[in-house]
Amino acid sequence: MEDYRRRLLWHGMLLFLLGLLTGFVEQKFNNPRMGLAAHLEGVMNGTFLLVLGAVWIEVRAGPQLKRVAYWCALYGTYVNWAVTTLAAIFGTAALSPLTAAGHSAPPWQEGLVMFGFSSVGVAMVLSSVLVLWGLRQRAIS
């Protein structure tokens, strides 16, 4: 499980870097406000993975639960950044009316972004619940 910890730290730094790089091009997107959101998602989700990697040794759960938490966290953080970036490129508005004022996109793009954000929500909630379960005071391995 130490390998998962180190990989979380590596992925955290990579996603943080992707967020920083997104910030350099946010004004080039179809929807610059959503580009700013993509920049922030990369930076914040990278930070989340770094924190998760830092506490990973304290998560007391079986190897299968830790594996599910790990993969859900990676999926959720990367896909969150990627879908937010796609939404900035497409200019979608379905799930982000405040950042997409005056923008709209074809239905297939709206649907893709909606599916992406929905799947991210499920993955992140599942990962968070599993990690929280593993951090409870009387955890059993």
The pLDDT score that the predictor gives to residue 140 is 55
What are 39-42's contacts with CB under 8 Å, separation 24+?
41/80, 41/81, 41/84, 42/15, 42/16, 42/18, 42/81
The pLDDT score that the predictor gives to residue 96 is 64
Q: For 77-95, how does the pLDDT look when each residue is reduced to its tens digit (9 = 90+)?
A: 999 999 999 999 998 876 6
Residue 2 neighbours by CB under 8 Å, 6+ apart:
57
The pLDDT score that the predictor gives to residue 6 is 96
| Low-confidence spans in the chain with pLDDT less than 50 | none
Q: Please answer whether residues 130 and 55 qualify as being in contact, where contact means their C-beta atoms are separated by less than 8 angstroms.
A: no
Q: Report helix angle 63-90 to 2-25, nearest 10.
A: 10
Q: For 13-33, how does the pLDDT look when each residue is reduced to its tens digit (9 = 90+)?
A: 999 999 999 999 999 999 898
What is the pTM (predicted TM-score) of this model? 0.89
